[in-house]
Structure 1
């Protein structure tokens, strides 16, 4: 399935988002694995677009037939960022290990190992934790989500090669930013700092992500969520 099968083009040539509910996305995901072979599905979008919510909804609905592997688990450790002088920009493309992420996706796509142990990102400590998610070879659908799945840059391109489809969540900026501020506050940032981060670093990263939007197989306006 390609973008053209799902979407029309606006007069400017910009792809018009398809309105979908979470149930619609689950049904599309089920169809992806109907052929019986392993499929990697990517959920992309700017910070606060709802990627984690959509990805988790799909995996939960698949009754053990799907696993969730996040791009955020390839954040560089805080000590590494501090040594690089980039901790204040955490979340920017160069604060990740895209080659490590690409290698994991390739292992998952090849599916030649009995089990692959994927890392997670723990928001409570703001650090990745290795070998936290066991993915057995019998799992037909791997859902991976993150900001930079569509980024046309070294490492990120190689990761995308292993993903069968990437769906981009197209969420209005005001809604995204509200979600980000709530998230930052929930994890301990004071209100002022949460707002500054959402409108500063997060928004700069969102602008980068927006530039990759048209490389998606499907652009989605998530409704009813």
Structure 2
């Protein structure tokens, strides 16, 4: 399926749902291509509907800081579900849907700093469609279910295991790990995280086949 078809489907969802703003969630294992697809959808909707018609809200902006991960003993499980501020994420989704009269600033994750950064993205007052993406959007645990209630639909982004594995190793190498360290991180952290996501695939409204978009930037 081409990006223009998916963007058209996303916009039809926005037109179908009541209210001034609709959130579409993209979920999938690490390195499935979620953020690349989300940004492509936003760009295509804006190309068709005008600047500000769509906005981007990544879960990655709600990574706990490295200091908080150290405090909680989660440094070796960075990227796992407990390493995110899920309640902060759910609260921002709530604001996104209900506070449409002013700008909403959205955090992101900086892969150079290896830390979350505030206010990198902007959702404008007239934005009709917001695309959010992350690993755990379809999970059944408390916090994630609170976030899910603000999404009109959640689409599962699929990708072959071997493709995701190759991307994940490349991401760790780009982040400064040695080949051995990258392999160990993927095997002990990214792979279990991906398996958790795969188990809740049935909670999604739609499963997308692998999308042929360039994700050489190392995002997921």
TM-score normalised per structure 1: 0.87
Contact kept in structure 1, 2:93 and 2:147, CA below 8 Å:
yes
Provide the rounded CA distance (Å) in 2 between the counterparts of 1:108 and 1:202: 29
> 2:3: which partner in 1?
22
Report the CA distance shift for 1:183/1:129 in structure 2 as closer, same or farther (over 3 A).
same
Determine if the alignment matches structure 1 residue 47 to structure 2 residue 30. Answer: yes
Matches within 5 A, 1:53-132: 53-63=36-46, 64=51, 65-132=53-120
Select between 29-38 and 140-149 the one with higher mean Cα deviation. 29-38
Partner of residue 13, structure 1: none
Where structure 2 has 5 or more consecutive residues not aligned to the other structure, the ranges are 214-220
Aligned equivalent of 1:152 = 140
Relative to structure 1, the CA distance from residue 76 to residue 136 in structure 2 (aligned partners, 3 Å threshold; closer, same or farther) is same
Counterparts of 2:115 and 2:168, CA distance in 1: 18
8 Å contact kept, 2:20–2:100: no
The answer (yes or no) to whether the contact 1:22–1:222 under 8 Å persists in 2 is no
1:202 aligned to 176, 186, 190, which one?
Answer: 190
Does residue 178 (structure 1) correspond to residue 159 (structure 2)? The answer is: no
Between stretches 59-68 and 213-222, larger displacement belongs to: 59-68
Q: Does structure 2 conserve the Cα–Cα contact (< 8 Å) formed by 1:150 and 1:213?
A: yes
| Local SS of the residue matching 1:46 | coil
Q: Deviations over 1:134-188 (max 9, x none)?
A: 2112011100000000010111100000001100012111111111111221222
What TM-score, normalized to structure 2? 0.89
Indicate conservation of the 8 Å contact 2:153/2:205, yes or no. yes
1:223, distance to aligned residue in structure 2 (A): 4.1
Residues 100 and 126 in structure 2, CA contact (< 8 A), matched pair in contact too:
no
Is 2:37 aligned against 1:37?
Answer: no
Moved over 4 A (4+): none
The CA RMSD measured in Å over matched residues stands at: 1.5
Task: Report deviation, 1:194.
Answer: 1.5
| Separation in structure 1 between the aligned mates of residue 199 and residue 170 of structure 2, nearest angstrom | 25
Q: Count how many residue pairs are aligned between Structure 1 and Structure 2.
A: 206
Q: After superposition, what is the alpha-carbon deviation per residue over 1:27-84, rounded to whole angstroms, capped at 9, x for unaligned?
A: 2112223358311000100001110111011011122211111001111110011111
